[in-house]
Each structure stands twice: as C-alpha cells, then as structure tokens.
C-alpha cells in the first residue's frame, strides 16, 4: 500500500496553499541542550543566541512564554530582534505545520545579512507516551526533512519537567549535544531511518476490545467513505473535528484502494475521549517512516501524494504498521 499516492480531493487544495517554498544552503546544526536548572539553561543558550544575533541570523524562540521571557531578559534584546514562533517546535501545531512554519522562516532568513535561520526550541512532547512518540518522531525526522537548509537549531530539554525516556532520546535524535557551550558529536545519534524504524508502536488500549465499526474486504471506496462518515458522526461530537478526521481517513482509504492490494479493511474504536481508526490492505510496498511530514511530490501537487500528509495534519497520532500480511495505517485523536 502506498499511502502517499492518492490525488487530493478538492478540500485538500486549501491546505496545500499553506506549503511555502524554501531556499537551501550549506547544512547547519541540530543540537540538543539537556539542563536541570535555569542557570544551566542560560549558561548554554544565551551565548548561542548572542552569536546568532551578532552574525545577523534571523533568531527565533519556539518555547513556552515564561522561558522566552527568561531568555529575552538575559540576552537584553526586544522581541523585534528575538522573534517568537511556538509552532516550529510543535507547540500547538502538528508536525506538517511545524515544517511549514520553519520553511516560512527560512524564506524570511534568506533576506537576512547571514541568510541563516537560528531557532531555539523546547519541543512539545505532551503528557502520555503516545504523545512523546510524536515529538520524538519529529525531532528525528527533521534531520532529513530540513537537511541542507541554512538552519541552526538548538533544542533544549528540561530534566525537571520531561520524562526520563524523553530526555534520553535527545542524544539519539540530535547529531550534536551542547556541552559546556561547545557542540560535541552525540555518540548515541541514530539516522532517522534507523531511529524511526525502531520506535515502539504499541497498540492503543481500546484496540484490544471489539470495534465500533469493522469492514473486511470493503467493496468500494465510495461505500467505505460513507460508512466511515456515519460511524465518526456517532462518536465525534465536534462537527468541525468530525469533518477533519473523516477527510483525512478518506484519503488514506483512497490510497489503499488505488495503490494498495485488496482486500481493504477498516476498523474504528471510540471511547468518551478518544477515537482510533485503522485502514489496512495486503500490499507489500512501504513508503517509510518519514512519509507524510511534507507533500510527497513537493510543489508538484498534480501528482497527488497528499493522503498521509493530510492525516498527520488532522489527526493527533499517525502510525505506519508494516506487517507480513500488509500495511496498516493507524490514526488516533483525542476528542474535543
């Protein structure tokens, strides 16, 4: 099953208008700073920020406002010089939108004296392991997604707030660590293809129970779309969220029919606060764990390839589950 191959439906085109171009130059750094006190944060981050400002980089904070205020006060520059964009580190944004926000800033940086974008971010990992996985996945994926861009990124990990497993992953997802103000190679770093393939993808707890909806050997895409619309309408109370979730799962189903191998199957589970949907086929093709973080064919939208990208934009969590019998795409979201 190729989850990227379907041509987008008309509503998708509006989302595609958000995709900016970006100019590339020599590769820059993706570095992590692990700290356990405000003093340790300032000791590492302030010289790094000051170096960017002195060089004429477009310098951006992507963190909680209290952290941004602490850093601005220490650096002593106004917000007009030390910009803010929380989306870059997935704060209030999903991974495709974080990529879009970063590329918009890269376009802005292209006109700066140095041509370089410098971002200090505190990645948003969320309260539960399923949410940690999305943050870890993005932290790894950007090493390839933005390779060759004039981007210097420092991701800061607060040991006082983050789970131990998340802090430990910083060395696996960042090629460098900032130690005593100096970037050093991370001995534990894993390239994205290796790290993402090994990332655990446990079943959602409700998958162990009977589904609210099940279709095996779905006869047609149109019928399955209508069935999914009907079941989501019964378990997703917010009309806008229901529309978004259905649009994305319909695109995944379309890819299964058009590019996968029959039979196509679908399952939906729901609770009072969460919905899970899986779409499966028996194809052996696997697009890889980086799929869906950006449109599959770049700016050439005529070739389609928007299905998984749209799913990552509209569902909280998207997992690709290759198995001997085929490929399953699992989508899950908290209900509003």
> pLDDT tens digit string along 168-215?
999 999 999 999 999 999 999 999 999 998 999 999 999 999 999 999
Residue where a domain terminates, one of 198, 224, 257: 198
The overall average pLDDT reported for the chain is 88
Are the C-beta atoms of 296 and 2 separated by less than 8 Å?
Answer: no
Q: Are residues 188 and 207 in the same domain?
A: no
Contact 315, 333 (CB under 8 A): yes
Please state the rounded mean pLDDT for residues 96-120. Answer: 96
Q: Are residues 64 and 183 in the same domain?
A: yes
Write down the pLDDT at residue 323. Answer: 84
- In this structure, the answer to whether residues 35 and 67 fall within a common structural domain is yes
Give the pLDDT band (50/70/90) at residue 161: very high
Is the confidence at residue 128, as pLDDT, over 90?
Answer: no
Residues 215, 192 within the same domain: no
pLDDT at 244 over 90: yes
With respect to residue 57, please indicate whether it lies within any of the assigned structural domains: yes
| One domain for residues 182 and 42 | yes
CATH for 146: 3.40.50
Q: How confident is the model at residue 4 (pLDDT cuts 50, 70, 90)?
A: very low
Q: Which one of 198, 228, 258 terminates a domain?
A: 198
Give the residue-averaged pLDDT of 245-266.
Answer: 93
SS (H, E, C) 262-305: CCCEEEEEECCCEEEEEEEECCCCCCCCCCCCCCCCCCCHHHCC
Task: Note the pLDDT of residue 6.
Answer: 37
Per-residue confidence band for 260, with pLDDT thresholds at 50, 70 and 90: confident
Cis bond upstream, residue 263 (ω within 30): yes
* Each residue's pLDDT tens digit, 19-57: 444 333 333 699 999 999 999 999 999 999 999 999 999
In this structure, are residues 53 and 176 in contact, taking their beta carbons and an 8 Å threshold?
Answer: no
Q: Averaged over 56-71, what is the pLDDT? A: 95
Number of domains in the chain: 2
The residue range of the domain holding 172 is: 30-198
Within a 10 A sphere around the Cβ of 5, how many other Cβ atoms?
Answer: 21
Q: Are residues 185 and 95 in the same domain?
A: yes
User: Which tokens hold the place of 111?
Assistant: 């006109």
pLDDT (0 to 100) of residue 24: 32
């Amino acid at each position: 099953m190729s989850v990227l191959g379907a041509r987008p439906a008309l509503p998708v085109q509006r989302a595609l208008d958000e995709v900016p171009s970006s100019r590339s130059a020599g590769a820059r750094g993706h570095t992590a700073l692990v700290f356990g006190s405000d003093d340790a944060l300032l000791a590492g981050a302030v010289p790094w920020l000051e170096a960017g400002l002195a060089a004429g980089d477009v310098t951006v904070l992507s963190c909680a406002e209290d952290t941004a205020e602490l850093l601005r006060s220490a650096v002593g520059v106004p917000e007009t010089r030390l910009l803010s964009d929380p989306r870059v580190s997935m704060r209030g944004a999903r991974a495709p939108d974080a990529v879009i926000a970063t590329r918009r800033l890269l376009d802005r940086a292209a006109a700066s004296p140095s041509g370089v974008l410098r971002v200090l971010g505190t990645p948003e990992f969320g309260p539960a392991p399923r949410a940690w996985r999305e943050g870890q996945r993005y932290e790894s994926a950007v090493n390839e997604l933005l390779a060759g861009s004039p981007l210097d990124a420092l991701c800061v990990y607060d040991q006082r707030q983050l789970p131990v497993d998340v802090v430990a992953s910083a060395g696996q997802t960042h090629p460098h660590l900032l130690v005593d103000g100096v970037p050093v190679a991370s001995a534990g770093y894993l390239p994205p293809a290796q790290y993402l393939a090994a990332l655990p993808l446990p079943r959602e707890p409700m998958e162990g129970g009977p589904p609210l909806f099940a279709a095996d050997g779905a006869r047609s895409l149109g019928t399955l779309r209508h069935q999914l619309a009907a079941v989501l309408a019964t378990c997703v109370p917010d009309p806008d969220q229901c529309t978004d979730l259905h649009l994305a799962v319909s695109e995944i189903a379309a890819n299964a029919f058009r590019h996968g191998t029959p039979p196509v199957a679908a399952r939906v589970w729901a609770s009072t606060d969460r919905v899970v949907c899986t779409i499966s086929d028996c194809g052996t093709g696997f697009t890889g764990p980086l799929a869906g973080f950006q449109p599959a064919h770049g700016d050439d939208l005529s070739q389609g390839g928007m299905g998984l990208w749209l799913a990552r934009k509209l569902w909280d969590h998207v997992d690709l589950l290759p198995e001997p019998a085929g490929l399953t795409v699992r989508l899950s979201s908290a209900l509003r």
